[in-house]
Amino acid sequence: MPKKTHADRRAAGMDVQRTLRGGDIDTAAVAAATEARLGPLGSYVIDFALGEIWTRPGLSRRDRSLVVISILATLNQLNQLKVHVQGGINHGLSRTEVEEIFVQLGGYAGFPRAIDAMTTARQAIAELQGVDRLEPSPPAEALDDEARSAAAREVMALLSRNQPRTGTGVDMGSFTGAAGRFAFGELWARPQLSRRDRSLVVCATLTTQDKPTELRFHLQAALNHGVTAAELEELMITVIGYVGFPTAVEGFRALREIEARQEQGS
């Protein structure tokens, strides 16, 4: 990519600030206020996190918002999550899609973090809409185990494609069936968020949690669901800004292993 001047990076970062805010704002004033509040850290927020990471063409701003929301919910960073939920709506995510991120995270980051994130997100969206509170979302469909098992088999057929013969499964004892029916027969089978997007959510949270074994499985599953290797690379680049270089490096390591296995045809 061509080298950029500082002015280029600053202008790009201020443009991301504008789209996150969803309207006409005095971007120069916002940038100045950020630097006044945070000093050099504020400069790097604008010039690097926003000006270099967010403006890369490999992921749409809608998809990068989805990834960042997933990361912040996993980290339980609720102040930043509120800002990025509103930014995600401004970047094209629907309320249903935002809420479904936290439904998925209930299984992959735990219910306490998912509940805090859902509560924060609903407050953020209500504020964006200028209302005191949002109308309730519909509850989950009531499914018997037979229907859940059938859905789980369909989901796993694609998730498991092209995975190593050894797999990553583990015997959870008597809870194995219940866990599978919930994770794959309910969460992954819900239509409110595409399986491509669910893969981005899961890869983002597993990278953030530094779970390389599970991440390798879900990176391959993401490819099965239509996420490209270039998009997964952008996910890891986004992790640099929101979790840090060490965690992103481990994510890149897992991704390169998946790419190498694909090249070898195994």
The pLDDT score that the predictor gives to residue 148 is 98
Q: Is the pLDDT of residue 99 over 90?
A: yes
Residue 186 phi, psi dihedral angles, 5° rounding: -120, -65
Q: Who's near 233: CB < 8 A, 6+ residues apart? A: 58, 252, 255
pLDDT tens figures, 155-196: 999 999 999 876 557 889 999 999 999 999 999 999 999 999
Q: What is the token pair recorded at 63?
A: 């998809």
Give yes or no for a contact between 73 and 105, defined as CB atoms under 8 angstroms apart.
yes
C-alpha 11/C-alpha 258 separation (Å) is 36
Q: How confident is the model at residue 266 (pLDDT cuts 50, 70, 90)?
A: low
Q: CA 54 from chain center: how many Å? A: 14
- The residue assigned the tokens 């060490």 is 246
C-alpha 9/C-alpha 16 separation (Å) is 11
Q: How confident is the model at residue 24 (pLDDT cuts 50, 70, 90)?
A: confident
